[in-house]
A and B are shown apart, each in its own frame.
Chain A
């Protein structure tokens, strides 16, 4: 198992554990970029998705946006924006957010749309205001699907933030990109392992969040 030897060598080398290029520092950068991008994407995607889902308008427009965004190559977009705008945090955030908004937007729309109409009608018949219907009836039922949309976006961001090292940003991608240039295979495999572990951690985090926030009555279905 060649790869396992590389992984072992990478993680047992104490030089990789501290300093500017140390694992904690790179991990912190990666998580920082990912959280910022996810927060920005959620701030755009969630309100729009909830609103269009509740009113049922704009579904075609959303489907079009999603198809268009899917067709855009994320890595190409990243390189292109950096070439046009120069290096920095903002040029890297733009493609990450552009790529994370559609899954959040579309899943949220679909989640609210697919809520069983009878409890919604009942709530309306009881005289609930539209905003209360959205937040107290539709949102709890739609929550599992909305979370899965956020999870897709988060995992996509974590893996695309790797590529951002190619355009001189920090983060875990540094090990992969630097390692490839330096022909230091140990470093490459170590970096790849770290990113994969972080992605799996994200998966676990969303699973735990689902257990925690989703109402048991909704979960049992």
Chain B
């Protein structure tokens, strides 16, 4: 009866249902963050003076703890999935903007000149030259954003059962069934590792020109530029 995958009925979900819910709550915000980050990063590359204030503002936003973020939003969005997803989207945005800016900036000047000489306009040059070359840096940012987003969804259980797999943690205490907590932690970690691996595969697929030997590690030169939020884990 008290099996590992027996989900208490108060959660109204099967094990697979919880996983689906968890992925939706974690990945939609990352997607939203990416869609917002691309134009914002492009603005920062175009107008250099914009980057330091944007970086400062995002660093401050990132310092706001997720639980604090969630509860402040309850007043506006209620105890819904949206309350969990908005902070996660903001965190993704914060991680992705510097990643994209550094990636796009790392494109060598000669490459840009060559593209211009071949008659590429600014839009086409951005889409077909700068973005593809920035893919490794962007995917590195996406990996951090995705993994932390998947792990942060669990905190949503504190604001009224909006934590998907994290709700198992509350139930583990409520019904004195520790195996539910083990299930929650392991499943969340496995989901994070799987999504991380998928992103690595995506990068390999998107950068067929890169030699195999250097695929595993991003260039140290690009690495050095990355600001602190990249390494924040919550």
Contact = CB atoms under 8 A, between A and B. Distances in A.
A and B physically associate:
yes
Contacts of B72: 3, 189, 192
B231 A166 contact: no
Interface stretch (B13-21, B98-106, B219-227): B219-227
A46 interface: no
A151 B157 CA distance: 27
Contacts, number: 161
A68 B185 CA distance: 12
Closest 10 pairs (CB-CB, A-B): A159-B65, A192-B68, A71-B192, A148-B228, A73-B151, A76-B185, A199-B63, A79-B169, A73-B188, A152-B232
Interface stretch (A8-16, A118-126, A172-180): A172-180
B232 A156 contact: yes
Interface of A: 2-3, 6, 67-77, 79-80, 83-84, 99, 102-103, 106-107, 110, 113-114, 148-149, 151-152, 155-156, 158-160, 162-163, 166, 173, 176-177, 179-180, 185, 188-189, 191-193, 195-196, 199-200, 202-203
B185 A73 contact: yes
A107 B232 CA distance: 10
Given A71-B151, A84-B178, A188-B74, 4 more contacts: A75-B169, A80-B172, A191-B71, A202-B63
Of A75, A102, A202, most B-chain CB atoms within 10 Å:
A75
Contacts of A6: 75
B158 interface: yes
A79 B233 contact: no
A75 B224 contact: no
B185 A80 contact: yes
19 contacts: A3-B75, A70-B233, A71-B190, A73-B151, A75-B152, A75-B155, A75-B166, A76-B151, A76-B184, A76-B185, A79-B169, A80-B172, A103-B233, A151-B228, A159-B66, A160-B65, A176-B158, A189-B71, A191-B71
